[in-house]
Amino acid sequence: MKSYPLDIESVGEDTYIVMSRGHHDLELYMTEAVKERPRWCLGGPEHVWVKTVPGRGTYASFYHFVPEGTRGAWPATYCYEYGDGYERYNGMSEERAQ
C-alpha cells in the first residue's frame, strides 16, 4: 500500500473540515490538525476512503466517501468542526467553551 505524508488540508466550505491523504495515527493526526487550525474545534477523527470526482462551476473537484476497494479511491484521515471528542482534542476548559 502507498504511504502518504501527513499533510492537513482544509476541504470544507460551510463547515470546518480537514483531511490528509493516508490512514494516519488518529492521535498524531489530531495533534497536527488542532495545531494548524487552533480555533476550529476539530474532532471526530476517522479513517475513510475517498474518491475525487471532477467539479463543476467554481469547484475543481469534489470528494466522496466510498467503500474500501472502490476503483480510484484513496485512503484519508478526516475530521470536522465539533466532531466527537472536540473538547478533548482542543483542550477546552469550561470557561473557554462558554
Per-residue model confidence as pLDDT tens digits over 14-65: 889 999 999 999 999 999 999 999 999 999 999 999 999 988 877 788 899 9
Say whether pLDDT at 92 is over 80: no
Q: What is the DSSP letter of 43?
A: E
Range of the domain at 77: 9-58+69-92
What's the whole-model pTM score? 0.85
Q: Kindly calculate the radius of gyration of the chain based on its CA atoms and give it in whole angstroms.
A: 14
Structural domain tally of the chain?
1
Say whether pLDDT at 72 is over 90: yes
| 33 domain residue, yes or no | yes
| 64 domain residue, yes or no | no
| 63 domain residue, yes or no | no
| 88 domain residue, yes or no | yes
| 4 domain residue, yes or no | no
pLDDT at 95 (0 to 100): 40
| 30 domain residue, yes or no | yes
- The helix/strand/coil state of 54 is strand
